[in-house]
Amino acid sequence: MPYYYKPHTPEWFAALEAVDPIKATVTRIVVAAQGTNVCSVCGEGPSQDYELIDKQMQKNAVATIRLCDDCLKIKRHVHREKLSRFGQPVN
Ligand SMILES: [Zn+2]
């Protein structure tokens, strides 16, 4: 079962470190420099929390991420990821 921790919390970083230590390190640097309320990918704000909708996820995947609007668009339109707002019902 993938993990649905709130992005940038200690448990989220620990879960991400197990599956993608490089991404975890990059996001730690971003958060240390810019604060926690920024995009997990690029460090820009404003940002919001999203969860990945993907039945093929590996069982220890981290399904949540904090994204700015630009990175959300890239994930949706370039990487074809299905993302919904974290903690809200899927329509
Ligand atoms: Zn971003």
The pLDDT value recorded for residue 82 is 96
User: 26 CA to middle of ligand 1, Å?
Assistant: 12
Assess whether pLDDT exceeds 70 at residue 25.
yes
Question: Using one digit for the tens of pLDDT, what is the confidence trace for 40-67?
Answer: 999 999 999 999 999 899 999 999 999 9
User: 38 CA to middle of ligand 1, Å?
Assistant: 8
The pLDDT value recorded for residue 87 is 82
User: 73 CA to middle of ligand 1, Å?
Assistant: 9
For CA atoms 41, 23, 50, 79, give the dihedral sign.
positive
User: 45 CA to middle of ligand 1, Å?
Assistant: 7
